[in-house]
């Protein structure tokens, strides 16, 4: 079973990679056959299957942003490991700074499935349920 510290490091590597538009760092957090699902209030989940599709989304998202994003992860619960998959839940608070103003964009819940690949942890499934669109 991965340690809590290694799980937190994976989550924070993903978040910091996103916040700094470091596409290599983000890609390194996902398994090759990962799935990223995002649900906005009142809508069905949108699913991106495979690291290539996820990274296309990440690149598009980074190119469209004019602000500086900051992910704040909190309230991590590690549910345990079964069959080589570690399941977690944690909160997201997403802030943005633009023109000297800081704004709360949204909040939400991440539900992750994490696997070990070689010596590294990778996100197998990332489910993000946002409280409001941004």
Choose among 33, 34, 36, 14: nearest CA to 25. Answer: 14
Which is it for strands 120-130 and 30-39: parallel, antiparallel or unpaired?
parallel
What pLDDT, on the 0 to 100 scale, is given for residue 1? 85
Number of domains in the chain: 1
What pLDDT, on the 0 to 100 scale, is given for residue 134? 77
CATH assignment at residue 102 = 3.10.450.50
- The pLDDT profile of the chain, 134 residues, written as one tens digit per residue, is 899 999 999 999 999 999 999 999 999 999 999 999 999 999 999 999 999 999 999 999 999 999 999 999 999 999 999 999 999 999 999 999 999 999 999 999 999 999 999 899 999 999 999 999 87
Distance CA 27, CA 74 (A): 22
Q: Which domain holds residue 88?
A: 4-130
């Amino acid at each position: 079973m991965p340690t809590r510290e290694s799980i937190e490091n994976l989550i924070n590597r993903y978040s910091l990679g996103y916040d700094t538009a470091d596409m290599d760092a983000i890609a390194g957090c996902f398994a090759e056959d990962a799935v990223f699902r995002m649900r906005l209030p009142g809508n069905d989940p949108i699913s991106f299957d495979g690291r290539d599709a996820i990274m296309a989304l990440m690149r598009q998202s980074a190119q469209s942003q004019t602000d500086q994003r900051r992910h704040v992860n909190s309230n991590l619960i590690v549910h345990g490991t079964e069959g080589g998959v570690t399941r977690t839940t944690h909160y997201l608070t997403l802030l943005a700074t633009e023109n000297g103003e800081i704004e709360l964009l949204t909040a939400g819940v991440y539900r992750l499935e994490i696997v070990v690949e070689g010596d590294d942890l990778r996100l197998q499934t990332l489910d993000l349920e946002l409280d409001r669109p941004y």
